[in-house]
Amino acid sequence: MRIAVDAMGGDYGPRATMQGAAHALQLHQDIEVLLYGPRSLLDDALKCLPKRYWSVRSRIVLVDAKSVISASARPSSVLRSPENSSLHCSLRALRDGEASACVSAGNTGALMAIARRYLGMTEGITRPAISTAVPTVSDGRCYMLDLGANVDCQPFHLVQFARMGAVMARVVDGLEMPRVALLNIGIEDVKGERRVRETDHLLRESLSSMFHYVGYIEGDDIFAGTTDVVVCDGFVGNVALKSSEGLARMLGQRLQMTFEANWRTRLVSLLARPALSRFKQELDPVRYNGASLLGLAETVVKSHGGADALGFSFAISRAYSEALQALPVRLAQGLRQEAG
């Protein structure tokens, strides 16, 4: 399997994406990575690849893409820009069958706009939604969408997101009847803005055979394990996700500072090291890097722009898993089954 990677997206440049790709190649022996970017920069990044990754260099293919889309570029201008950027080229490789999935940590709006142009949408879906799984207290996970692709959603968009999230939970986690909820500022019927209340009305009327709609939940219930899919617009979802990531990092840092305060707490930390290590790993946002653009006709994964090499490797692993499961095809099948 080949995975196309926009090597120029993200805050740390091609060295981080190169090392992230190499780490993913060590984990998955049956993939090859196509890295797109200005050839001179890719060559430099490959030369700086640590020795521990030298064994996978034969499965790294460097592809020259002469330009780079900036993080501040507007989607409308990107569609009119020259098509030799690393993002354009990596998505074209997916469209042309040269790769089975695409990963980018670049401009979200540009990624969505170009992906829609090259790849098209799943039948019955008008906009892609960014979705990822977050951990819950019950050792399960909950899918959130949208996380930043759409900030001006209409009620019918949110209904589509609910359907896509439910199919995702059925396909990936094998849930027969996923529980779907709307993120709101309260659980009472009169709470929330107009479009959220209209979406609630539409979901209650739909009586879907594919998922169980449980109504509203508030932000503190996202991680409670009481629902499998949480639906919201891209603005709200992005704020909720970034806030939870910041909180997880703060908790980890405060915990570390607490155990390093004096010799007694350091002794306790030695005894509790296995449990503390497991706790920090479970809360680490890096483990959950990589969000699906659900609704596209092919597998596209958006990595966090601030992801380091390890974080980027998780995004590639997610793309590999979704391509292996033929997630877009199965999503389309599930949506047709519900419509029928």
Q: Which domains does the chain have, with CATH numbers?
A: 1-125+295-340 (3.40.718.10), 126-287 (3.40.718.10)
**What is the C-alpha to C-alpha distance for residues 131 and 145, in angstroms, rounded to an integer?**
5
- Check pLDDT > 60 for residue 284: no
- Average confidence (pLDDT) over 124-142: 85
CB 213 within 8 A of CB 203: yes
Which letter does DSSP use for residue 153 in this model? -
Higher pLDDT: 247 or 112? It is 112
pLDDT for position 31: 94
Closest to 102 in 3D by CA, of 52, 33, 183: 33
Residue 286 has a pLDDT of: 55
Q: Which tokens hold the place of 204?
A: 């209650």
CB 22 within 8 A of CB 53: yes
Q: Which of 153-167, 236-250, 266-280, 304-318 has the lowest mean pLDDT?
A: 266-280
pLDDT band at 38 (very low <50, low <70, confident <90, very high): very high
pLDDT grade, residue 123 (50/70/90)?
confident
Integer-rounded Cα radius of gyration of the chain: 21
Can you give the pLDDT at residue 273?
64
Mean pLDDT, the chain, integer: 86
The band of 55, judged by pLDDT with boundaries at 50, 70 and 90, is: very high
Q: What number is the average pLDDT over the span 119-141?
A: 86
pLDDT for res 243: 82
- Length of the chain, please? 340
- What percent of the chain lies above the pLDDT cut of 90? 46
pLDDT for res 268: 63
Confidence of residue 188 (pLDDT cuts 50, 70, 90): confident
Q: What is the mean pLDDT of residues 292-300?
A: 93
- In degrees rounded to 5, what are phi and psi of residue 48? -90, 5
Taking alpha carbons only, the member of 107, 101, 93 closest to residue 9 is 107
Least trusted range by pLDDT, from 42-46, 225-229, 250-254: 250-254
What stretches of the chain adopt beta strand conformation (E)?
Answer: 2-6, 32-37, 60-64, 101-104, 129-135, 141-145, 179-183, 212-217, 229-231, 291-294, 299-302
Lowest mean pLDDT among 70-79, 158-167, 312-321: 70-79
Find the mean pLDDT for residues 271-292.
Answer: 64
Question: For a pLDDT cut of 70, what percent of the chain falls above it?
Answer: 89
**Would you tell me how many other CB atoms lie within 10 Å of the CB of residue 194?**
8
Tell me which of 52 and 336 has the higher pLDDT.
Answer: 52
How high is the pLDDT of residue 300? 95
Note the pLDDT of residue 183.
93
- Summarised one tens digit per residue, pLDDT across range 197-218 is 999 999 988 777 788 999 999 9
Least confident of 33-37, 202-206, 228-232, 300-304: 202-206
Residue 293 backbone dihedrals phi, psi, to 5 degrees: -95, 85
Could you tell me which residues are beta bridge partners of residue 301? 103, 292
Q: What's the average model confidence in pLDDT over 119-148?
A: 87
pLDDT of residue 129: 92
Cα separation values, 65 from 39, 42, 140, 235, Å: 7, 10, 40, 32
Structure pTM? 0.85
